[in-house]
Structure 1
Amino acid sequence: MKKIFSILTIGSLALLTGCVNGDDDFNNNQTQPYQVPAELAFTNAQKELIDQMETPSVNLNVFRFFQHYLATTIYRNDARFNFTGTRKVPDNMWLALYTDVLGNLSEAKKIIPTEAKPAALTQLAWDKQQANKLAIINILEIYTYQVLVDSFGNVPYSEAAKVETTVLPKYDDAKTIYADLINRLNALIPTLDTAYPSFETGDNIYGGDVAEWITFANSLKLKIGINLADVNPTLAKQTVESAYNAGVLLTNSTNALFKYDGTSPNFNRLYAEVIASNRNDFVAEEGIVDAMNNLNDPRRPSYFTAVPGPGGGYVGGTVGLSNSYSTNSHIGESLLAPNKTGVLFDAAEVNFYLAEAASRGYSVGGTAASYYNTAITESMAQWGVTGAAVTTYLADPNVVFSPANWKQRIGEQAWIAMYNRGFESWNFYRRLDYPVMTAPNATPAAEGKIPVRLTYPINEQTVNGSNWSQASSAIGGDKLTVKVFWDIN
């Protein structure tokens, strides 16, 4: 029944594998799914989350169009923000996050308490390890709910994982969800104990390193806190300062990276959608290309291919129009390696948050300019740019940090640094209102603007109609132009 799966059942059905069993009672309960190890459910949740955040598929992730990173050679409607036709992008993203990510995390949480203690471990060591596992699962769950709130506004939360009792869950107030996510992090972080392990297998981000997950959790707390800066300055300041003081991700050595193995079906999603699929659908968009050309940005060879011919250089197409594949730059080859890691957090992102926090007067240990410069430097290092090229770039008058125009400087440089992270870039853009971007080819539903939220899935309207209607009214209408609660400027 589709309505059962419209909000979070168990995404691990895709994980289940058969086996041969000669026992007489093997087929007695053919409706009972096999129980998979918690590690496998957790790995799958990580992969589904990274896949969703990184894929360029026009059926799943359109934030690179929002942010003028990519344009299309065909399928113009996707780049004009028409998401309710055959694509149903909101439906697909909703299903991916609720079922494939949260469903697997929910399953893992159910399995862990049933696991048997190895004889070699003391009860205390086993209890600590299991508690670490559960805390890490919950942290990734919080990350996923933050993405859902930032995408749609009010969403199912308190009733979302209770399909045994609630088939059609209510939508919770987004502001209330945010507050609870902070409370949950505050409660979870102290329970993580670095004296004990967590996942010995199955954690494809940090390999079960509890200290790294503590840093991740604090960075997530920082991210949620900074989003509240305009709508709830007191809570934002308190949350950001608390996260910083506890230790956040500051260097690339602790980036949260998912390790694709480079074999089918575990390719990096850009490789899967461009190279493995033999598609010529995407070209670089003129907004990001022109901005980086004007700054002589040394990351361009990593971000884009040069156009053929004696002139070379980097040229972008126009979002929302059909563009020539042969005369525009393409996605850079460094982004298309089959085993390129996927990113959930990186040092550039976190340092930009701290630059913003310092600009707002929060106490975060450094100046806005120092964090801003570090963010750019860490971004450059990710793409192999170091030394004099970075120094020259930072000295450009159009790059040098300006306290009087901090929103513009941070917004523009975060936009460039987040080139392969469209969703995070969209958050910076909505919060800071920079860079200034237009959408002249947008569908009428977007009212000629870059969308500031995704509309709710069509399936929710037809299956969970009463709750959908209440949620739509509560946020001011189910439109691409209705802002999420923290986007008040």
Structure 2
Amino acid sequence: MKKTLFYIPLVAALVSLSGCENGFDQLNTNPTAATALNPVFTFNNAIVNTSYPSQILIFEEPIVQQMFSPNSGILSGGNFNIDNRGSAGANAALWQRYYRDNVRYLVDVLAKTKSDASRSNLYNMARIWKAYVSMVLTDTYGDIPYTEAGLGYLNSNIRPKYDTQESIYNDILKELPEAAAALDATKPTEAGEIMFGGDISKWKKFSYSVLLRAGMRLVKVNPTLAQSTVQKAVAGGLMQSNADNAAVRNNANYQNPVGTTLNSTEAANYYLTKNFVDYLKTNSDPRLTAIAVRYVGAKSGPEQTAAKASKDPAVQIGMPLGYDNGTIPARATADGLASFYDYSQLDRTRMGGLTAPTFLVTYAQTQLLLAEAVQRGWTTGNAADFYNAGVTAHMKQLADYGTTTVIADADIATYLQKNPYDAAKALELINTQYWVASFLNGPEAFANFRRSGYPALTPNPYPGKEIKGNFINRLSYPDSEISVNQQQVNQAITRQGPDNLDTRVWWDKQ
């Protein structure tokens, strides 16, 4: 009897437990939680991560002699023509932001939308964006993972092969027009994407404008392909105004990385170069007023106060290259300044602000490339008209930084009258203007400088350089990448040359 009494409650308990388990999965499932991430949100994450890292201040901006720091240590790079490797090396920043924090998202978007007819526009937008991102990466480093890039998240391929830059460019030249042609405004347009808000027309113009850029990149290595690519881009339809500009519109949620750096630890450490300021001053360029600020009489970082700030172009003085933090004080004294803190800087309350937009591909750049294409006889039109439109567009583009950077139409007209297009000096004029129009677009300014040879910069005279030539030609591979994919990296090095700053990328022929 006692046994029977013992088993009855046990069986009852088991039955009760079984009943609870029957509804356990339903009881513990949040009915309002998302079970899958909408790929447009992943795409937006990729777009946000296309905003250039602050390390363009260490390499690209000093290489093209627009901004630099006289300080050594973690800020060493293009300012002294030396490499900057290591666990936190500046050479790795663009790689991490574009490859690690961008390509992997794009590969995921492509995988999730390729077979979904209702997301075909998002699929083709991602193709276009991946082509653009890959172009920036390969222009910076040379051979990179491309066909197997980002597959670690899909099939555990954690050691992707490195494709040659030539093969990457060949695929980019295929992807951009194909994806643009496949965009269809009669299908869901993905209004949730943050670049163009689903505007199919703007996406097409962006894609063909990137194609134009890619074609012009090939002028030295394959002029025949360059010409046919330019013609295809023009036929497809390019950006028509500043409203078509591709820019990351930074805000309080995702701030401008360069602005974040300039408004925090490095506020008093970066300066406009003498070459850049002198060029703008010599030509009475109204953009200097929008770009520069000088804290007149500042003897230290804390003395760079609003009360000392002057935006007057007449008082701007750029910092000369060739000096470090040990030698720049004497040069500042010789220049009649209170200290090196008295040199001109990018105004970190405007173009160097926390929420300043990051421009990637612009109407101004596109018009200047068209001017060169006409000059080369590769397309029709008037080179002077394209040139004037490009200069005008960049000056008007500065209004996107705020009301205090607006340049009046009369000032633009006066500038163009004093600095007219001259066919005899066309390539230099066009590409020097491209240099100005690409200010803060470090990777593009660096790439176009190597491609065109303009502006005609004097080599940085700093005596401690590591490079054998006059200018840095590429960035070295990150140590973090070498440590996890050494065999593939070594194969790339064997093909293209030593992993240093002297080795040229494929299209940069001497």
TM-score category (smaller protein): 0.7 to 0.9
1:198 maps to 2:195: no
- C-alpha distance in 2, partners of 1:176/1:443? 36
Per the TM alignment, residue 103 of structure 1 is displaced from its structure 2 partner at its CA by 1.0
Indicate which of 376, 380, 403 corresponds to 2:395: 380
Aligned match of 2:134:
145
Return closer, same or farther for 1:271/1:463 CA change in 2, 3 Å cut-off. closer
Aligned match of 1:221:
211
Aligned residues: 442
Aligned match of 1:329:
344
Indicate which of 370, 373, 386 corresponds to 1:371: 386
Q: Is the 8 A contact 2:358 2:441 kept in 1?
A: no
2:359 counterpart SS class: strand
- C-alpha distance in 2, partners of 1:34/1:73? 51
1:391-418 per-position Cα deviation (integer Å, ceiling 9, x unaligned): 222233xx32222222211122111222
Aligned match of 1:238:
228
Q: Is the deviation greater in 129-138 or in 437-446?
A: 437-446
Aligned match of 1:177:
168
Matched letter for residue 456 of structure 1: Y
Return closer, same or farther for 1:24/1:113 CA change in 2, 3 Å cut-off. farther
The two structures have a TM-score, normalised by structure 1, of: 0.84
- C-alpha distance in 1, partners of 2:426/2:261? 37
- C-alpha distance in 2, partners of 1:99/1:177? 18
Matched letter for residue 367 of structure 1: N
1:2-26 per-position Cα deviation (integer Å, ceiling 9, x unaligned): xxxxxxxxxxxxxxxxxxx996666
Matched letter for residue 436 of structure 2: I
1:393 maps to 2:393: no
Matched letter for residue 372 of structure 1: Y
Indicate which of 243, 248, 259 corresponds to 2:238: 248
Mapping 1:61-460, distance limit 5 Å? 62-75=59-72, 77-78=76-77, 79-80=79-80, 81-85=82-86, 87-112=88-113, 127=117, 129-163=118-152, 164=155, 166-201=157-192, 203-261=193-251, 263=252, 265-277=253-265, 279-308=267-296, 313-319=315-321, 321-322=324-325, 324=339, 326-332=341-347, 333-363=349-379, 365-383=380-398, 384-396=406-418, 399-437=419-457, 438-441=459-462, 443-447=464-468, 449-460=470-481
Per the TM alignment, residue 306 of structure 1 is displaced from its structure 2 partner at its CA by 3.4
Q: Is the 8 A contact 1:61 1:93 kept in 2?
A: no
Per the TM alignment, residue 371 of structure 1 is displaced from its structure 2 partner at its CA by 1.0
- C-alpha distance in 2, partners of 1:451/1:87? 20
Indicate which of 48, 54, 57 corresponds to 1:56: 54
Matched letter for residue 68 of structure 2: A
Per the TM alignment, residue 455 of structure 1 is displaced from its structure 2 partner at its CA by 1.1
Q: Is the 8 A contact 2:260 2:353 kept in 1?
A: no
Larger radius of gyration: 2
1:343 counterpart SS class: strand
Per the TM alignment, residue 171 of structure 1 is displaced from its structure 2 partner at its CA by 1.2
Matched letter for residue 263 of structure 2: I
Per the TM alignment, residue 137 of structure 1 is displaced from its structure 2 partner at its CA by 0.9
Return closer, same or farther for 1:276/1:205 CA change in 2, 3 Å cut-off. farther
Unaligned runs of 5+ residues in structure 2 are 1-23, 298-309, 329-338, 399-405
Aligned match of 1:8:
none
Matched letter for residue 393 of structure 2: E
Per the TM alignment, residue 289 of structure 1 is displaced from its structure 2 partner at its CA by 0.6
Q: Is the 8 A contact 2:294 2:342 kept in 1?
A: no
Aligned match of 1:474:
495
Q: Is the 8 A contact 1:197 1:210 kept in 2?
A: no
Q: Is the 8 A contact 1:45 1:105 kept in 2?
A: yes
Q: Is the 8 A contact 1:283 1:329 kept in 2?
A: yes
Per the TM alignment, residue 357 of structure 1 is displaced from its structure 2 partner at its CA by 0.8
Matched letter for residue 462 of structure 2: N
Return closer, same or farther for 1:276/1:266 CA change in 2, 3 Å cut-off. farther
The two structures have a TM-score, normalised by structure 2, of: 0.81
Q: Is the deviation greater in 327-336 or in 312-321?
A: 312-321
Per the TM alignment, residue 87 of structure 1 is displaced from its structure 2 partner at its CA by 3.9
Per the TM alignment, residue 74 of structure 1 is displaced from its structure 2 partner at its CA by 2.7
- C-alpha distance in 1, partners of 2:177/2:283? 41
Matched letter for residue 269 of structure 2: D
Return closer, same or farther for 1:361/1:443 CA change in 2, 3 Å cut-off. farther
Per the TM alignment, residue 277 of structure 1 is displaced from its structure 2 partner at its CA by 4.9
Matched letter for residue 321 of structure 1: D
Q: Aligned-residue CA RMSD in angstroms? A: 2.6
Matched letter for residue 197 of structure 2: G
2:275 counterpart SS class: helix
Q: Is the 8 A contact 1:280 1:325 kept in 2?
A: no
